[in-house]
Amino acid sequence: MAPDLLIELDNVKKHYEMGEEVVKAVDGISIKIEKGDFVAIMGPSGSGKSTAMNLVGSLDLATEGDIYLDGKDIEHLGESELAQVRGKKIGFIFQSFNLINNLTAKENVMLPMLFQGMDKSDREDRAEKLLRLVELGDRVDHYPNQLSGGQQQRVAIARSLANDPEVILADEPTGNLDTKTGNTVMEFLEKMNKKEGKTIIMVTHDPDKALNHARTVYWLVDGKVDKVTKKVNGKWKTVKS
């Protein structure tokens, strides 16, 4: 694995048995994600992008092939060790926000730090700092049902940064938002990438989101990588087809 590679999927397959039928959700994909890149995994419904996201995010293991996270082959890690590596390396943002309704914004952001054993006062200080970063410093004690959809997604962004991960994995992060609010969320992701140096991996079915914000796009069709495009000097070029 090259030094600048953070995540690599090497000829990865994910097949599911459904009765007598085998569903090939992902069927031999290779993806390389370099540190500091903004990557979009793009494809229509049924293309395998959600399964690919679970594999890239170390939320699932492959049927075949190898998955490397920061040089470690996660296929050979125990669940406890994998959870620790994943918790430190990757922050997750979900389309449906996945906030806990009976916790305040601050408590939601604090939660991932609890699993990493951080002291409570440090968790509180960092959560407040992160909520200020996403312009919600005046909403720290609000519950999710007291926040708009855009505010909830910004809480989710703050939570994804809780353990200062190298990678932010965003699954359709604007899917439940109106256009204006969605653009604000994308601006925050770009800020995290350009100013904080975070590697962003965004799963989307929206080509405008992919082409306007990412620098590398993996186009999936029927569980395979159909092509890979990269933005070079402001222009898109196909590097694999």
Q: What is the pLDDT of residues 65-89, one digit of tens each?
A: 999 988 888 888 888 888 888 888 9
Collapse the DSSP code of 80 into the 3-class scheme (helix H, G, I; strand E, B; otherwise coil) and give the result.
Answer: helix
Q: According to the model, what pLDDT value does residue 88 have?
A: 86
Nearest residue to 167 via CA among 110, 91, 236: 91
Predicted confidence band of residue 1 (pLDDT cuts 50, 70, 90): low
Q: What is the pLDDT of residues 81-120, one digit of tens each?
A: 888 888 889 999 988 899 999 999 999 999 999 988 899 9
Domain boundary assignment for the chain: 5-240
What is the fold, at CATH topology level, of the domain defined by 5-240?
Rossmann fold (3.40.50)
Mean pLDDT for the stretch of residues 171-185:
90
Q: How far is 119 from 179, CA to CA, in rounded Å?
A: 39
Q: How far apart are the first and last CA of the chain?
A: 22
Listed in sequence order, the residues at least 6 apart from 26 whose beta carbon sits closer than 8 Å to its beta carbon are 12, 13, 14, 48, 51, 52, 55, 62, 223
Percent with pLDDT over 70 in the chain: 98
Check: CB of residue 49 under 8 Å from CB of residue 43. Answer: yes
Mean pLDDT for the stretch of residues 198-202:
96
The angle that helices 179-194 and 149-160 make with each other, rounded to 10 degrees, is: 20
Mean pLDDT for the stretch of residues 52-58:
90
Query: Strand order of the sheet with strand 72-73?
Result: 21-34, 5-18, 64-69, 72-73
Mean pLDDT for the stretch of residues 44-66:
91
Max alpha carbon distance in the chain (Å)?
Answer: 55
Predicted confidence band of residue 2 (pLDDT cuts 50, 70, 90): low
pLDDT of 13 higher than 90: yes
Q: What is the pLDDT of residues 162-175, one digit of tens each?
A: 999 999 999 999 98
